[in-house]
Structure 1
Amino acid sequence: MPITIGHERLTDIVAAMMQGAKSSPEEARTIAENLVTANLMGHDSHGVGLAPRYMKHAVAGTMNPGARPSVVTDNGAYLLLDGNMGYGQTVCREAMEMAIERAKKTGVCIMGLRRTHHMGRIGAWGEMAARAGLISIHYVNTTGHRPYVSPWGGYEAKYSTNPYCTAIPATDDHPMIVLDMATSRVAQGKVRVAYYAGKKTPADALVGPDGKPTDDPTVIFEEPFGAMLSFGQHKGYGLAMICEILAAGLTGGGTAREELMSQNTICNNMLTIVMDPKGFGADIPFKSEIDQLVGHVSTAKVAVGHDKIRFPGDPERETSAERTANGIPIDDNTWAEMTEAGVEAGMDKSDFAVN
């Protein structure tokens, strides 16, 4: 049976774990809040279950606690940063603050951020821009560990789940729109959650080592390995390759290739475009068009199995409200792994006791 725990206590626990793995109190709190927020929004794949893996990388020296982004090149609207393998939760926040400031001055900022440890839920960085009244588009790739996703037409893993995100500011009548998705059928972390919970994955999400479709998540975590599949067949695969080229090829961070896949870490590269929606002219009714679009699409007849039409970002808001009120569920295997990692870092087992 999964446990259920309040988000505030969970944040305190994870912050203590990260402090035990060489992070300052401020950095540990930032990481914990980011991970717990992902759980609150229903994205357990990018939540606190990642903390033990983060801690192992910090202790092993394959990421750098306390690292900050450094400027590689600064050329008008173009800004290239190196994350120096620091935590994505802190490095991305600082990088987005720089990009937002630049976009407000110039109307647009094209920001490359390379060599950063796991960036977490990419939607968090899009939401930063949207709260500032700006549009942001993000392309991300991943190296540092063995690949998980096979190309369309194959069944051998060659690259990772390569997220894409676009965030659009709220209007007076509607909340911000945030599309944040992996280019694989499901995120790798969701397969991990299913594996730990003893559940199956969607039937079209994985392929076994024999090249046949499977719903068994063990093929991603136990040898002989299978692979994850792209969403939308060739379409998701095509977008994943675009993410590789723009996030890593353009920034110099390194695309998916053999020598970058066995470093016992998570290395993300990201290309971000931040723009002011007023850039084309104040006479364009941008927010009004959003409101009219939402109003029109929302009138669609609701299909069996659904209760209403939702827009990107709505499920996360609904789940966050429910979990804030009632607590966050965490499966026993994930909690046991977190407890073990915390105790190894100097915490007491009683710190993880749940009534």
Structure 2
Amino acid sequence: MVTIKVNNLIDFVADVFSHAESSPEEARRIATYLTTANLTGHDSHGVIRVPVYVRWKKTGNVVPNQTAEIVVDTPSLAVVDGRFGYGQTVAPFAVKTGIEKCRKAGLAAVALRNAGHIGRIGDWAEMAAAEGLVSVHFVNAAGSLLVAPFGGVEKRLSTAPYCVGIPRAGQDPIVLDFATSIVAEGKVLVASRGGKKLPNGALIDADGTLSEEPSVLYGPYTPDGPRDHTRGTGAIRAFGEHKGSGLAFICELLGGALTGTGATSGGRRFANGMLSFYIDPKVVDTSNYFDGEITRYADFIRATKPVAGVDQVLIPGDPERKTRTERTANGVPLPDDTWAAIVNTAREVGVSEVSIQRATS
């Protein structure tokens, strides 16, 4: 395990993407969002994605320095085409569009289609919450067949994230952000590169055998080689049996089909689709009841007597706040295999050895 200081990690990852044809502004934006995912404990959506992103750029699946296009524009609704730009560029544009419309109308919807990987969806809920807005996000990943629906063994769904953000007066927002699979694909990636092991039975093989071995999803791989989910014989399982599978199906229809990205299927270009709703609590809650009631209810939940082995019952966002505090102070821990893969990618795009050494100083 290596531990990298936060600013060093952002600088280094920005250097990688600058060498991969992104503008300095885009490179730093990608680096900052990826590192923020690590800071919150979502390593699956953090800098481990660097080799994947660069590979996608080389194959033309993602386009550097792309400008998103608003193709439908009404007072309360917009459709934004990301034109396969980096998600860290086109998703903030879509969210900003939703925020601006919601400020005027009190309620807004934005459909983002054809975006590169948009990373941790909680970033976009936090962006809206910073402006005092509630947001709800349905997301899919077209071309990313990873998850078996309940009762099946074949890949038919993406990990189909769902996210809700709720602003708090003078406090961090409440953010619920999860894949509708037992684990996100990035967590399988982390496990395959020497990180945290998968929960028992997170994967299912073609014969119905439950497994937690990443090779079930990726097939055979070398420690620093690429991971390709099309080579594995198995799939990730949906969480919560029929409930998670059903929610994933809805994310595919709303985040994928309705946005124009398309519900996921094999053999097509990767793209994230996201359908987002924005609500201004000040318009709904004219008596200023909402925030006080959140405080009362959050305290009520946290005061629940915990089961044996649990220190305290938590609400969404509590684990991320704790991890962010620890890693901001101490640095971001990365498994050796993960760091080696990132360094190899840096060398491939021409990052200097001095820059690599500086990252770990």
Alignment partner of 1:251 out of 259, 262, 271: 259
CA contact (8 A) 1:151 1:158 kept: yes
Partner of 1:51: 50
Q: Distance in 1 between matches of 2:70 and 2:172?
A: 33
Q: What TM-score results when the alignment is normalised by the length of structure 2?
A: 0.93
Contact 2:38 2:45 in 1 (8 A): yes
1:308 paired residue among 303, 312, 317: 312
Distance 1:288 1:224, change over 3 A: closer
- Ranges in structure 2 where 5+ consecutive residues have no aligned partner: 220-230
Match of 1:130 in 2: 129
Distance 2:290 2:195 in 1: 46
Cα distance between partner residues in 2 of 1:176 and 1:324 = 18
Which aligned pairs between 1:11-26 and structure 2 lie closer than 5 A? 11-26=10-25
CA distance in 2, matches of 1:104, 1:200: 44
The TM-score normalised by the length of structure 1 is 0.95
| Equivalent in the alignment of 2:213 | 216
- Does 2:169 match 1:171? yes
Counterpart selection for 1:192 from 184, 189, 194: 189
SS of the aligned residue for 2:345 comes to: helix
Residues 24 and 321 of structure 1: CA distance in aligned 2, closer, same or farther (over 3 Å): same
State the Cα deviation string for residues 4-58 of structure 1 (Å, max 9, x = none). 1101001111000001111000000000000001011111100001011111111
Q: Which residue in the other structure is 1:226 paired with? A: 234
The alpha carbon displacement at 1:304 in A equals 1.7
User: How far, CA to CA, are the matches of 1:225 and 1:258 in structure 2?
Assistant: 14
Structure 1 segment 1-355 matched on structure 2, within 5 A: 2-145=1-144, 147-172=145-170, 174-197=171-194, 200-222=197-219, 223-260=231-268, 263=269, 266-283=270-287, 285-353=289-357, 354=360
Tell me, which stretches of 5 or more residues in structure 1 are unaligned?
A: none
Q: Is the 8 A contact 2:142 2:256 kept in 1?
A: no
Aligned to 1:197, the other structure's residue is in SS state: coil
CA distance in 1, matches of 2:8, 2:195: 26
Farther-moved stretch of structure 1 (26-35 vs 283-292): 283-292
Q: Counterparts of 2:188 and 2:266 in 1: how far apart (Å)?
A: 23
Is the contact made by 1:156 and 1:226 (CA closer than 8 Å) also made in structure 2? yes
Deviation digits for residues 136-158 of structure 1, max 9, x if unmatched? 0000000234x110011101111
User: Is contact 2:69–2:81 with CA below 8 Å preserved after alignment?
Assistant: yes
How many angstroms apart in 2 are the aligned matches of 1:188 and 1:244?
16
1:246 partner amino acid: L
Q: Percent identity?
A: 44
Contact preservation (8 Å) 2:48, 2:338: yes
Give aligned pairs, total.
Answer: 348
Q: Aligned letter for 1:4?
A: T
Secondary structure of the corresponding residue to residue 99 of structure 1: helix
Asked whether the 8 Å contact 1:209–1:224 carries over to 2, the reply is no
SS in 2 for 1:110: strand
Equivalent pair of 2:301/2:314 in contact (CA under 8 Å):
no
